[in-house]
């Protein structure tokens, strides 16, 4: 496939998801932004940490069961 | 949702490829990914991610570069260790915790396969308000594989040698000193060292006719003592004592003209505390409401003028006579 196109595609998806928009690629699925808030976590040795928040990109396939 | 035409437009704008061409390529891309993935293979897009089938469902694994870009805001942040007891107060360094006080979106929480505290339901914002201290990085868990993060300042949590009991006794000593100063100040005040020769009695001694008997005979630069007594014998009118309703037809010496009611009343009390007969008046000058504080009540302007001579500064030089 055309490299210019692919590169542009990547960038567009990245930008849109960064701006909290969803991007749908027909026939494949939807790229979605996700935010995970900070939370506490305890290790086995008893220490407790605060995990920082995170922005993520996730993907939801078009038809999840694979039977089109 | 960005798709089809809009997506094609955005790609076209970015790449210079025509919109129709972009649309064609988009379709092609979708078809390609699907066929590769359905064949059990992996479709990789460099710098973006990989598509593959996992248990009959198509999954997308974003490339590290993409992940870091998306997480730009928080990239480089590391977990911060919390201390159970919060004895060390000032050592807290809330390192690079940008967002914490406000829990923003209500998106899904992606659970990691680690033990979590019940804090999931509780909003951690309060944590940041409390002292949070980080330790040196011995942490191996939760290491993101992102590129070397910006220098994250981690300070040791030890206060410079100050123990709990040591600090408590310092506080006590300071409190004792302050108390001693206040006590000394009060004593001096009550012996009249600060005042202009008058005792600090808020209620002047009077007999039944309202005559003020001034017992204090310390030095008075203006020769006030005698005048005080002579004023005092003039029961209804006078510079001292309580405000007499019968004297309301007379004049008063205005010594303050204030805007704020609260301040005016406070000043009124202060003047009364000095032993003067003080009253308060409202006056409207133009748009502004003034609260005027007057000293004494006098039958004639002449009497008022005479009384002014016995006033201390600043009142002596800053006043005007007004009808009550």
Q: What is the pLDDT of residue B246?
A: 83
Q: What is the pLDDT of residues B66-90, one digit of tens each?
A: 999 999 999 999 999 887 644 344 4
Query: Mind listing the pLDDT tens digit for each residue in B273-316?
Result: 888 889 998 888 888 888 899 999 988 888 888 888 888 888 88
A-chain residues within 8 Å CB-CB of B110?
34, 36, 56
* pLDDT category of residue B162 using cuts at 50, 70 and 90: low
pLDDT-derived band at B180 (thresholds 50, 70, 90) equals: very high
Q: Who among B10, B109, B139 is closest to A12 (CB)?
A: B10
Q: Model confidence at B124, in pLDDT bands (50, 70, 90)?
A: very low
Encode pLDDT of B187-234 as tens digits. 988 887 655 555 545 554 444 444 444 555 445 455 444 555 555 555
Instruction: Report the pLDDT averaged over residues B161-166.
Output: 64
Give the ipTM of the model, two decimals please: 0.89
Relative orientation angle of helices B4-15 and A3-18, to the nearest 10 degrees: 120
Among B56, B70, B107, the residue with its CB nearest the CB of A18 is: B70
* Torsion from C-alpha of B181, B183, B186, B188, nearest 10 degrees: -70
Cα angle at B295 between B291 and B298, to 5 degrees? 120
Please name the member of B62, B78, B141 whose beta carbon is closest to the beta carbon of A43: B141
Chain B CA closest to residue A62:
B58
- Sheet with A29-36, strands from edge to edge, namely A23-25, A29-36, A54-61
Backbone dihedral angles phi then psi of residue B183, each to the nearest 5 degrees: -65, -45
Which of B4, B14, B21 is nearest residue A11 as measured by Cβ atoms? B14
Q: How many CB atoms lie within 10 A of CB B113?
A: 4
Where helices occur in B112-223 by DSSP H, the ranges are 125-129, 164-190
Share of chain B above pLDDT 70, in %: 61
| Interchain CB contact of A48 with B (< 8 Å) | yes
Q: Which helix (H) or strand (E) holds B282?
A: strand B278-285
Q: How far is A45 from chain B (nearest CA, A)?
A: 12
Distance (Å, rounded) from C-alpha B262 to C-alpha B247? Answer: 26
> In Å, how far from its chain's centre is CA B261?
25
Distance CA B291, CA B268 (A): 10
- Give the Cα separation of B304 and B112 in Å (integer): 86
Are A4 and B15 within 8 A, CB to CB? Answer: yes
B296: left (phi over 0), alpha (psi -120 to 50) or beta: left
| A45 close to B (CB below 8 A) | no
Report DSSP state, residue B195. Answer: T
- State whether residue B148 is helix, strand or coil: coil
Neighbours of B243 (CB within 10 A): 16
Backbone angles phi and psi of A35, in degrees to 5: -125, 130
């Amino acid at each position: 496939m055309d490299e210019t196109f692919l590169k542009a595609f990547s960038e567009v998806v990245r930008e849109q998801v960064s701006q909290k928009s969803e991007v749908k690629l027909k026939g494949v699925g939807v790229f979605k932004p996700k935010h995970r808030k900070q939370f506490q976590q305890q290790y086995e040795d008893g220490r407790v940490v605060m995990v920082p928040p995170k922005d993520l990109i996730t993907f939801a396939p078009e038809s999840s069961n694979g039977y089109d | 949702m960005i798709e089809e035409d809009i997506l094609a437009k955005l790609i076209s704008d970015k790449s210079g490829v025509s919109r129709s061409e972009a649309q064609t390529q988009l379709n092609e891309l979708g078809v390609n990914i699907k066929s590769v993935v359905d064949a059990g293979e992996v479709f990789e897009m460099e710098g973006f991610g990989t598509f593959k089938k996992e248990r009959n469902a198509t999954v997308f694994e974003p490339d590290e570069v993409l992940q870091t870009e998306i997480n730009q805001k928080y990239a480089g942040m590391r977990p911060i260790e919390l201390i159970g007891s919060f004895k060390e107060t000032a050592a807290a360094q809330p390192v690079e915790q940008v967002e914490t006080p406000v829990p923003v979106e209500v998106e899904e929480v992606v659970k990691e396969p680690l033990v979590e505290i019940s804090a999931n339901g509780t909003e951690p914002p309060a944590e940041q308000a409390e002292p949070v201290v980080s330790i040196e990085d011995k942490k191996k868990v939760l290491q993101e594989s992102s590129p070397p993060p910006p220098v994250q300042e981690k300070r040791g949590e030890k206060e410079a040698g100050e123990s709990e009991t040591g600090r408590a006794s310092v506080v006590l000593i300071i409190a004792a000193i302050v108390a001693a100063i206040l006590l000394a100040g009060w004593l001096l005040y009550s012996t009249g060292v600060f005042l202009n020769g008058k005792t600090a009695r808020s209620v002047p001694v009077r007999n039944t006719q309202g005559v003020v008997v001034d017992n204090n005979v310390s030095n008075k630069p203006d020769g006030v003592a005698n005048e005080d007594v002579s004023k005092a014998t003039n029961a209804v009118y006078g510079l001292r004592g309580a405000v007499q309703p019968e004297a309301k037809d007379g004049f008063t010496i205005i010594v303050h003209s204030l805007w704020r009611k609260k301040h005016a009343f406070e000043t009124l009390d202060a003047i009364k505390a000095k032993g003067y007969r003080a009253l308060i008046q409202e006056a409207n000058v133009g748009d502004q409401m003034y609260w005027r504080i007057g000293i004494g009540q006098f039958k004639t302007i002449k009497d008022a003028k005479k009384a002014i001579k016995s006033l201390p500064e600043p009142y002596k030089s800053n006043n005007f006579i007004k009808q009550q």
